[in-house]
């Protein structure tokens, strides 16, 4: 499949109406990095850091993590890498963390909630990231932020670790950008200050959709029940796009839906300018975007939303077939 899109690999993703859409890739292993070249991704929009924790029987050492993160940055060269801090709990359980039985793990003690309650591991991870960066830019993103305060608290840990590194005489990142994943509907309605304070925001559509429709992403019986192009969900996406536009906050989308060409097209039409996806999706998504007229798609979506349909998908598919 990569082969099929090789001819557009180096082509910048610009739609027919001249809109630049940045296409990044998701990764989680050192072995994913060669895909940066083979897929033509412009960077790593989401580096999931769970695997190094999940594949061991104890917490990895700071030095180990720092050297792995450094190798990731080396492999990425000039392309940016957005590291997401540990997102455990729910579907990703650490074998060595005492399993706390929770009736609803997806709604439970997970991700940033663990990080802020038991700060040791998160601080160690931040130190590893700062050391790995060694004079290069650093992008850190916190998962599963459900209210502004969690982001501010998490960010304060970065600042503290930064000062600590400085006082130890270690070299600091050349620049530091601290962002949040938007994975709960609550954050679309967060105080304006959240959007002002976050250096960037990335929509985690896998979780956002599961919480918006109250449909477990792990449950085969319900997980495909609600269309991503459902008008209710698109209204939520539109809200987030608007909130970020008000404050000039950089926004991306990094859930699986970003890698589905029709969804990606609709997101771009709704104002998303950065999509992060599995490497194999970059070719197909770029292919549809290079031939897209976003104002036309925006109009098709607007008409379908007005018409009382549940999903804009049939209208968008009709439009694509008619071109």
Q: Is 207 in the site for Mg ion (CB under 5 A)?
A: yes
CB of 184 to Mg ion, least distance (A): 10
Backbone angles phi and psi of 253, in degrees to 5: -130, 125
254 binds, among ligand PEP, Mg ion, none (CB under 5 to 8 A by kind): ligand PEP
Say how many residues touch Mg ion, by CB under 5 A.
3
Site track 170-199 with Mg ion (rule: CB under 5 A), x = hit:
-------------x----------------
205 binds, among ligand PEP, Mg ion, none (CB under 5 to 8 A by kind): ligand PEP
Q: Is 115 in the site for Mg ion (CB under 5 A)?
A: no
Strand pairing report for 44-48 and 200-203: unpaired
| DSSP-derived 3-state class of residue 314 | helix
Q: Is 205 in the site for Mg ion (CB under 5 A)?
A: no
| DSSP-derived 3-state class of residue 307 | coil
Which run of H or of E encompasses 27? strand 22-27
Among positions 22, 150, 183, 227, the unique one binding ligand PEP when judged by CB under 6 A: 183
CB of 308 to ligand PEP, least distance (A): 29
As given in the structure block, the two tokens for residue 174 are 């050349």
Of 49, 93, 45, 94, nearest to 68 by C-alpha is 49
Of 180, 225, 227, nearest to 202 by C-alpha is 180
Q: Is 279 in the site for ligand PEP (CB under 6 A)?
A: no
Q: Is 204 in the site for Mg ion (CB under 5 A)?
A: yes
Q: What is the rounded distance in angstroms from the CA atom of residue 121 to the CA atom of residue 113? A: 12
Residue keyed to tokens 């979780």: 207
CB atoms within 10 A of CB 37: 13
CB of 31 to ligand PEP, least distance (A): 18
Q: Give me the residues that bind Mg ion (CB under 5 A), please.
A: 183, 204, 207
Q: Give me the residues that bind ligand PEP (CB under 6 A), please.
A: 46, 48, 87, 183, 204-207, 254-255
């Amino acid at each position: 499949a990569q082969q099929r899109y090789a001819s557009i690999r180096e082509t910048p993703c610009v739609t027919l109406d001249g809109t630049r859409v940045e296409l990044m890739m998701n990764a989680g292993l050192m072995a994913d990095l060669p895909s940066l070249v083979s897929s033509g991704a412009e960077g790593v929009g989401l580096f999931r850091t769970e695997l190094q924790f999940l594949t061991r029987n104890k917490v990895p050492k700071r030095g180990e993590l720092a050297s792995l993160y450094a190798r990731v940055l080396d492999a990425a060269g000039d392309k940016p890498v957005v590291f997401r801090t540990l997102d455990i709990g729910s579907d990703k359980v650490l074998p060595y963390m005492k399993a706390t039985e929770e009736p609803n793990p997806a709604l439970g003690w997970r991700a940033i909630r663990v990080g802020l309650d038991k700060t040791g591991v998160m601080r160690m991870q931040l130190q590893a990231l700062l050391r790995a960066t060694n004079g290069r830019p650093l992008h850190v993103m916190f998962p599963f932020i459900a209210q502004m305060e969690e982001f501010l608290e998490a960010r304060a840990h970065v600042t503290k670790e930064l000062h600590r590194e400085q006082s130890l005489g270690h070299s600091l990142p050349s620049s530091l950008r601290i962002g949040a994943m938007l994975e709960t509907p609550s954050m679309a309605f967060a105080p304006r200050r959240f959007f002002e304070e976050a250096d960037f925001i990335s929509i985690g559509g896998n979780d956002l959709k599961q919480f918006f429709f109250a449909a477990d992403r792990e449950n085969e019986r319900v997980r495909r029940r609600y269309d991503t192009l459902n008008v209710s969900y698109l209204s939520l996406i539109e809200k987030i796009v608007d909130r970020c536009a008000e404050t000039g906050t950089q926004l991306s989308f990094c859930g699986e839906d970003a890698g589905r060409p029709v969804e990606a097209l609709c997101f771009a039409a709704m104002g998303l300018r950065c999509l992060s996806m599995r490497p194999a999706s970059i070719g197909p998504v770029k292919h549809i975007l290079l031939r897209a007229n976003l104002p036309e798609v925006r109009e098709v979506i607007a008409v379908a939303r007005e018409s009382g349909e549940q999903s804009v998908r049939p209208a968008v598919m009709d439009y694509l077939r008619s071109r």
